[in-house]
Amino acid sequence: MSLPVDLKYEPLLRTLQSLSSEDQANLIREWGLNDLYFFAKFILGYWWLTGPVHQEFAAEVQKDTNLSLFLLPRGHCKTQIFTIADGIRQYLKVPSEPIAIVCDALKRSVKKMRAVKWHFESNRRLRELFPDKIWANPQKESPKWTDEEFILPYHTGRQEPSFLATSLENQPTGLHFPRIKCDDIVTPETCTSREMMDKNRDAYGLMRSSILQTGGNIQIAGTIYDDGDLHCDMEKSGMYRTYKRPASYHFMTGKAVPPSSDGAVALWPEQFSLNRQEEIRKDPTVGDYIYSCQYLLDPTPEDENAFFSLNWFPRYEVIPDRLTLYAAADLAISEREKAAYTAIVVAGIDMLKRLPVVHVRRGHWDALSIIEELIDVQRTWKPLMFAIEVENIERTIGPFLKKAMQEAGVYLNLEEFRPDKDKVARARSIQGRAKQGVILLPKRGAFEPPWLADFEYELRRFPKARTKDQVDSFALIGLLLDKIVQINKDPEHRRPLSDRIIDAVTGQPGNQTERIHLTEQMRTDNYLRKVFGQMEGEGDIFDPCGGIE
148-167 pLDDT, tens digit each: 999 999 999 999 999 999 99
**pLDDT, average across residues 228-236:** 91
Query: Got the DSSP string for 281-292?
Result: HH-TTTHHHHHH
Task: List all residues 6 or more positions away from 131 whose beta carbon is below 8 Å from its beta carbon.
Answer: none
Quick one: average pLDDT of 322-327? 95
Nearest to 391 by CA among 347, 332, 477, 340: 332
CATH architecture for residues 310-486? 2-Layer Sandwich (3.30)
What band does 11 get if pLDDT is binned at 50, 70 and 90? Answer: confident
CATH ID of 7-218, from 2.30.30, 3.30.70, 3.40.50, 1.10.3470: 3.40.50
pLDDT at 489: 61
Average pLDDT of 263-280? 96
pLDDT of 132 > 80? The answer is yes
Across the range 191-204, mean pLDDT stands at 89
Lowest mean pLDDT among 134-138, 200-204, 480-484, 494-498: 494-498
Check whether 145 has a pLDDT greater than 60.
yes
What's the whole-number average pLDDT of the chain? 86
Output the pLDDT for position 536.
Answer: 39
Q: Give domain limits for the chain.
A: 7-218, 249-294, 310-486, 490-548
CB 79 within 8 A of CB 183: yes
Contacts 24+ apart (CB under 8 A), 357-360: 357/439, 357/440, 357/441, 357/442, 357/455, 357/474, 358/319, 358/323, 358/325, 359/449, 359/451, 360/449, 360/451, 360/454, 360/455, 360/470
Q: ∠ at Cα 342 (337, 346), nearest 5°? A: 140
pLDDT value of residue 537: 41
- Measured between alpha carbons, how far is 128 from 134 in angstroms, rounded to an integer? 9
Alpha-carbon distance of 406 to 513, in angstroms, equals 30
Q: How far apart are the first and last CA of the chain?
A: 91
Cα–Cα distance, 46 to 286 (Å, whole number): 29
Q: 541 falls in which pLDDT band (50, 70, 90)?
A: very low
Q: What pLDDT does residue 423 have? A: 82
For residues 341 and 363, is the Cβ–Cβ distance under 8 A? yes
Which residue type sits at 133? K
d(CA 38, CA 28) in angstroms, rounded, equals 9
Beta-bridge partner residues of 342: 363
Asked whether residue 486 carries a pLDDT value surpassing 90, the answer given is no
How many Cα atoms sit within 13 Å of 509 on the Cβ side? 0
Band (521; pLDDT cuts 50, 70, 90): low
| Confidence grade of residue 533 (pLDDT, cut at 50, 70, 90) | very low
- 364-390 average pLDDT score: 92
Q: How far is CA 375 from CA 155, 347, 402, 404, in A?
A: 63, 16, 11, 8
Res 526: pLDDT: 52
User: Is the Cα dihedral 526, 528, 531, 536 positive or negative?
Assistant: negative
Lowest mean pLDDT across 211-220, 246-255, 383-392, 489-498: 489-498
| Average pLDDT estimate for 40-55 | 94
CA angle 470, 471, 474 (to 5 degrees): 90
Q: What angle do CA 364, 365, 369 make, to 5 degrees?
A: 155
**Taking 60 as the threshold, does the pLDDT of residue 280 lie above it?**
yes
Could you give the CA distance from residue 242 to residue 263 in angstroms, rounded to a whole number? Answer: 25
pLDDT at 538 over 50: no
Residue 468 pLDDT > 90: no
Query: Which residues lie across from 343 on neighbouring strands?
Result: 330, 362
Answer whether 315's CB lies under 8 Å from 442's CB.
yes
Taking residues 90-94, report their average pLDDT: 98
Question: Which of 155, 153, 158, 149 is CA-nearest to residue 117?
Answer: 149
Q: What is the C-alpha separation between 223 and 235, in angstroms, rounded?
A: 12
Confidence of residue 287 (pLDDT cuts 50, 70, 90): confident
- In angstroms, the CA 32 to CA 26 distance is 10
pLDDT > 90 in the chain, percent: 62
| 147 Cα distance to chain centroid | 30
Percent of the chain with pLDDT over 70: 83
Phi-psi region of 333 (alpha: psi -120 to 50; beta: other; left: phi over 0): beta
Are 165 and 149 spatial neighbours (Cβ–Cβ below 8 Å)?
A: yes
Task: Quote the pLDDT of residue 483.
Answer: 87
Q: For position 126, what pLDDT does the model report?
A: 97
Contacts of the segment 168-174: beta carbons below 8 A, 24+ positions apart: 168/102, 168/103, 168/104, 168/105, 168/200, 168/203, 168/204, 168/207, 169/104, 169/105, 169/106, 169/203, 170/105, 170/106, 171/203, 171/206, 171/207, 171/210, 171/211, 172/211, 173/210
The Cα 142–Cα 331 span in angstroms is 56
Establish whether domains 7-218 and 310-486 are of one fold.
no
Is residue 510 over pLDDT 90? Answer: no
Whole-angstrom distance, CA of residue 288 vs CA of residue 248: 13
Using CA atoms, how far apart are residues 479 and 127, in angstroms rounded to an integer?
69
Looking at residue 485, what is its pLDDT? 76
* pLDDT tier, 547 (very low <50, low <70, confident <90, very high otherwise): very low
**Nearest to 495, CA basis, from 532, 526, 530, 521:** 521
